[in-house]
Amino acid sequence: MMRIKVLACETLRDEIESIMQKHNLDYEVIWLESGLHNTPKKLFECMQKKLDAITECDRLLMVIGRCGNSVLNLMTGVYETVMPRVDDCISLFFGSDKARNDYGREHAAIYMTEGWLRGESNIVSEYDHMLEKYDEETARDIIEMMYGHYKELALLDTGVYPIDRLYEKTEMVENITGLKRECVSVKLDYLEQLFIGPLDTEKFWIFPAHTKIEI
């Protein structure tokens, strides 16, 4: 039996655990802290360290996008590595970079999921940090400067948690930014295909053992 392990961003924990439970998969999952995405160099270093430590594995599923070229020049180990052909995790929910970019051009959205809100760095945590340094008016002005070019807060309904719960948790974000929340139904088909196949090479990069990733 093929020995499969998973390297994944914490942001996708809810969705990954849902898929694994649905298909009775017991793969070992190695989690990456979501906050690392804000510093691609640290994300690269963390991923390389984890890749180097992986043993007794025939195939590694990397559930991550290119994320600011943070995967460029990673060296894989003794295992085959499979990775979705997307720029970031949000595109996994939309089914492709094109679909995500098409929606973004029309709506100029900030995307949110429960996993994203649990991350170490998000609008709420940034706002709280600013309040420690500035008065409320100044903090709101800074948020406006950072996010004022967006038009919408897109709450991604991935189907693995009640969307009402996400509305409750993002009320503060809407109040801080002044951006209207919109529910966007997305699917887990792309992510699910990574776990159960088939591995269409138009959707996934498949790297043999001991490969330097150059994408």
Peptide bond into 198 cis (omega under 30): yes
The class of domain 4-90+188-207 in CATH terms is: alpha beta
> Does residue 175 carry a pLDDT above 80?
yes
What pLDDT sits at residue 120? 59
> Does residue 214 carry a pLDDT above 90?
yes
How much of the chain exceeds pLDDT 70, in percent? 99
- Extract the runs of DSSP E, i.e. beta strands, from 10-166: 28-32, 59-63, 80-84, 109-112, 152-157
Average the pLDDT over 115-131 and give the result. Answer: 80
d(C-alpha 144, C-alpha 178), whole Å: 9
What is the residue extent of each domain of the chain? 4-90+188-207, 96-185
Average pLDDT, whole number, for the chain? 92
| More confidently predicted of 123 and 121 | 123
pLDDT tens digits for range 44-65: 999 999 999 999 999 999 999 9
67: left (phi over 0), alpha (psi -120 to 50) or beta: left
What pLDDT sits at residue 146? 86
Name which of 13-17, 22-26, 139-143 the model is least confident about: 139-143
pLDDT tens digits for range 55-109: 999 999 999 999 888 999 999 999 999 999 999 999 999 999 999 999 999 999 9
